[in-house]
Amino acid sequence: MPPAPRSRSKRDDFYRDRRRRKVCAFCADKTVVIDYKEVNRLRRYLSERAKIEPRRKTGTCAGHQRELSVALKRARHVALLPYSPEHLRP
């Protein structure tokens, strides 16, 4: 006869739901300035619908997320990055 299934405790749920914290790529690289002209680097932080990805998804810290959003907006203004995705344009 197999052993009875063990009931999960609150502690088990707590450790099961914890995930490893993402590290800010800019802090890890010791990047001083996030430049709007680095289009390839900035594209990683846009979704396929050309929206800015949130911090919880990318793992950037709050300060770098603010700098990143300003750089993305500047790159859009200078037409280096799109405001909308390619497939939705008429």
CATH code of the domain in which 39 resides: 4.10.640.10
Residue 13 lies in a domain: no
Neighbours of 74 (CB within 10 A): 15
5-45 per-position pLDDT tens digit:
766 666 666 666 666 778 898 999 887 789 999 999 999 99
Residue 28 belongs to domain spanning:
22-88
Using CA atoms, how far apart are residues 41 and 53, in angstroms rounded to an integer?
13
49 is a domain residue: yes
Indicate whether 6 belongs to any domain.
Answer: no
57: confidence class by pLDDT, cuts 50, 70, 90 = very high
Map tokens 């990318």 to a residue.
58
Q: Given the structure tokens 């680097």, which residue do they identify? A: 41
Question: Does the predicted model carry a pTM greater than 0.85?
Answer: no
Query: In the numeric block, which tokens belong to residue 38?
Result: 């680095």
Spell out a b/e string for 18-57, using b for 16 or more CB atoms within 10 Å of the CB, else e: eeeeeebbbeeeeeeebebeeeebbeebbeeebebbebee
Count of structural domains within the chain:
1
DSSP secondary-structure letter at 42? H
